[in-house]
Structure 1
Amino acid sequence: MAIITLTTDFGEKDYFAGAVKGAIYSELSDVRIVDISHSVSPFHINEAAYIIKNAYKSFPKGSIHIIGIDSELTPENKHLAVKLDEHYFICANNGILSLLASEIKPEKVVEINIHDKVETNFPVLDVFVKVACHLARGGTLEVIGKSVSTIKYLKQFEPIINSEKNQILGHVIYIDNYGNVITNISRKLFETVGKGRDFTIRARRVNFSEIHETYSHAINFNVEKEKRKEEDGKKLAVFNSAGYIELAIYKSNPSTVGSASTLFGLEYLDSVTINFE
């Protein structure tokens, strides 16, 4: 059974996500639809790329991923269907593909050319669904588009390493549902530059000198619960499941006790610096 995933900025209030699912089932009843997220911030390409890039690898090869972010067709925002890492992606040529393909070169990219057969002001519903169902039936990319060699590129916010190799300057690239702050500093880069040295992570007014393997690793469970100095609300840095350094609050809740983002005063693209001793 084919798998089609959905990543959009549609939210949960409106009919958009439900209509897309209904259209898929109307064309192809023998399919499995998986929602990756409909809560991407509106038109936030980098946020969407972080989510889909870290989710798609858990799906079987051959899965089809519809990305409904900034998808309106314009002369500067064409529609693409892409084979990448043995998965298929259907999206607008708005730069998101360059972020998905920053480490793996696409096997094939086509510009979708079925628009003359479809009247639409809702391209995810009318165009992306048709392409996804075509691929789910075993169709090829060549049937629905012409090959292209160039795509729109967005500037990748890469961490900067100073000439003395004792500092990494990174940025906040994502804030998750818990208000945890994800940086663009990977574990691999941290270990390559740090070489086991002591360090201090600085982000606005907070500092960290230790990175935990898990959130609960920051808690000393050998001490009786009543005698622990900090538990809920403890600040910590952790290597997250996507392999990046994340700044967090243990068991945070943005709507009640606060979160790393609110308590540390950190927002998207704010600087995070690591100094090695």
Structure 2
Amino acid sequence: MAVITFLSDFGYTDHYVAAVKAKILSNNPEATIVDISHAIDPFNIAQAEYVLGSVYNDFPEGSVHLAAISTHGSKNGKYHAAKYKGHYFLMADNGLLSLLTDGQPDIVIELQNDTPLMAFPAKDLLAPVAAYLAKGGDIEILGERTYQFRQLLNRQLRLNDHYITGHVIHVDRYGNLITNITRDSIETIAHGRTYTIHFGRETISRIYPTYTQVDDGDCCCAYNSQDQLCIGINQGHAAELLGLGFDSQVDVRFYPGS
């Protein structure tokens, strides 16, 4: 029996999360449902992509990931089941699938749907499909294969021999700024050279193992568990104190010599 993960922008004050889980369990009483988060900002596809993309691969292959983000965000009323890297994904045709897979899922099925304008598609359509796939159901019988799904593009790094330009792609609950600059991109271009990291009015010349390696209130850079460059303030909220947020520019500049 495969695990079902559940990500949504439903919040925690209404009955929506419980209603979806109830539908899954009605179809598959033995289902194991793992909540990833229900605090995604309403309709925030980029935030959903970061959160789900950071964790789905930690689950066993065959896991089913129900992503109820902006489930009415598709005017065409389309919903998809997809397979990518051994995992199943269920979501509206709102661009999230293209971001998670860089536009290259292995299989995309347009879910057969006799009621395109549903009041609660996460419950009425996606939940039963999640229960079915978790029991080992065949994705191919859920509808027709398609190559047409909404395309969105992830922010791309700009790189040359002397600098990297990236952007903040997520601000976490602690105010840490996660960028799309990776450890690999820095080490590949550095070739042992010194470098400085620039954001807002700040310049940092060292990447620490953790934020706690600097004094309380000091700003520093560190890599997270996905090897992404992050900006934080020890015991402080970096986004608020630095005046930075989603899409803020971050530069790494490299210097001759070592």
| Offset from partner CA, 1:213-260 (integer Å, 9 cap, x none) | 2333x24xxxxxxxxxx2x222110011111100001233xxxxxx11
Matching residue's letter, 2:10: F
Alignment of 1:147-226 (within 5 A): 147-162=145-160, 165-216=161-212, 218-219=213-214
Structural RMSD (CA): 1.7
Distance in structure 2 (CA, Å) of the matches to 1:206 and 1:274: 12
Q: CA deviation at 1:82?
A: 0.5
Aligned to 1:261: 239
Contact kept, 8 Å, 1:73 with 1:123, in 2: the verdict is: no
Q: CA deviation at 1:119?
A: 7.7
Q: CA deviation at 1:14?
A: 1.3
Distance in structure 1 (CA, Å) of the matches to 2:170 and 2:126: 26
Which of 126, 129, 132 is equivalent to 1:131? 129
Distance in structure 1 (CA, Å) of the matches to 2:191 and 2:11: 43
Q: CA deviation at 1:107?
A: 2.0
Distance in structure 2 (CA, Å) of the matches to 1:60 and 1:71: 26
Distance in structure 1 (CA, Å) of the matches to 2:117 and 2:240: 44
Q: The residue matched to 1:66 in structure 2 has which SS?
A: strand
Q: Structure 1 stretches of 5 or more lacking a match?
A: 220-229, 253-258
Q: 1:73 to 1:194 in 2, by over 3 A?
A: closer
Task: State the identity %.
Answer: 38
Which of 229, 234, 237 is equivalent to 1:245? 229
Distance in structure 2 (CA, Å) of the matches to 1:275 and 1:77: 46
Distance in structure 2 (CA, Å) of the matches to 1:14 and 1:186: 38
Alignment of 1:52-63 (within 5 A): 52-63=52-63
Distance in structure 1 (CA, Å) of the matches to 2:233 and 2:185: 23
Contact kept, 8 Å, 2:4 with 2:32, in 1: the verdict is: yes
TM-score by length of 2: 0.94
Is residue 274 from structure 1 mapped to residue 252 from structure 2 by the alignment?
A: yes
TM-score by length of 1: 0.87
Q: 1:77 to 1:176 in 2, by over 3 A?
A: farther
Is residue 50 from structure 1 mapped to residue 34 from structure 2 by the alignment?
A: no
Q: 1:178 to 1:52 in 2, by over 3 A?
A: same
Q: 1:183 to 1:118 in 2, by over 3 A?
A: closer
Q: Structure 2 stretches of 5 or more lacking a match?
A: none
Distance in structure 2 (CA, Å) of the matches to 1:32 and 1:93: 25
Q: CA deviation at 1:77?
A: 5.0
Aligned to 1:78: 78
